[in-house]
Chains A and B, each alone.
Chain A
Amino acid sequence: MLAAGASLIDVEFAACTVLAQAGETAVLCGGSAAAYYVPDDYQSLDVDFMLHVGQARHTVDRALATLGYERVTEGFYEHPVLPYALEFPVGPLAIGREEVGSWRTDRRAHELLHVLTPTDVVRDRFLHYWAWKDESAFRVALAVARAKPREVDLDAVRAWALRELAADRTYDPEEIDRFFNALAGG
């Protein structure tokens, strides 16, 4: 059971760990993954996990119940005293048209956390901006790219963006340059 003073990071590690013990691989994604890398630039009370395999609802329910979390609607869990909600969007784990097959795993003491890599977080947040014109997602993508320069593969980001564009011509190609120009501009 998580105590009242548990932090967002505590919740993320604890949830991922109990799910892993139950045989479910949950990967921190979306804005939550971005907040993990740039906590000063982005905060959220919703923790987004994508279940990579399994997705047995009763297994997830039971595992999260050991932390005090209870399902309130499909894929959405709340805690009686903690402000952080857990959300499980329907998979597959993908960024745009491309499925994500690998992620980073961080460990602390006996806990673990699966999280999108910094490169995938940049792709994910940029796509969120590209699709919905969400300027905050654009800023977060930039923040992660700047905070993790050695871990973000910008060539891979650009190549992926061009593949997305080739598949869906309704995306504005100039936004790709806008992102890279902003990044170069500092």
Chain B
Amino acid sequence: MRDDLRPALFGSALRDRMLTRLALSQNGLHVRELARQVDASPTAVHRAVIALEHAGVVVSRLVGNSRVVVLNRRWYGAVELRALLERLAAAYPEIRERASRYRERPRRIGKPL
């Protein structure tokens, strides 16, 4: 990601990737999973979540011991932001590909993928 030449619309390449990935999610992602999906460290993602949360564009909540992050649908520009991010996803085929393979619905333990 360090060599990513795509423009950083939201302040950094990491934020772009995180927001794009979150726009492809219905229920949000745990910080650790989000970090895995955008090729970044959980610490870096956590820091970016704090900044984006302060800006109001994402919200997070504790589930067990980990934090789940989701786009803030109450934010006044949420509809437009999601539409933009869904367009932006075309510039991140690797994220879109991972998102398409990531299953958000519950799945019984032991059931084959």
Contacts and interface: CB of A to CB of B under 8 A. Distances in A.
A131 B54 CA distance: 18
A90 B76 contact: no
Contacts of A75: 54
B56 to A, nearest CB: 5
B56 A131 contact: no
B55 A97 contact: no
A22 to B, nearest CB: 22
Nearest to B78: A168
Given A96-B74, A128-B74, A170-B73, A90 B54 contact: yes
Contacts of B54: 74-75, 90
A7 B56 CA distance: 29
Interface residues on B, range: under 10
B8 interface: no
A132 B71 CA distance: 12
Interface of A: 74-75, 89-90, 92, 94, 96-99, 127-128, 131-132, 167-168, 170
B76 A94 contact: yes
Interface in B59-80: 73-74, 76-79
7 tightest Cβ-Cβ pairs between the two chains A and B = A94-B76, A131-B74, A90-B56, A131-B73, A168-B79, A167-B79, A74-B54
B56 A168 contact: no
A75 B78 CA distance: 21
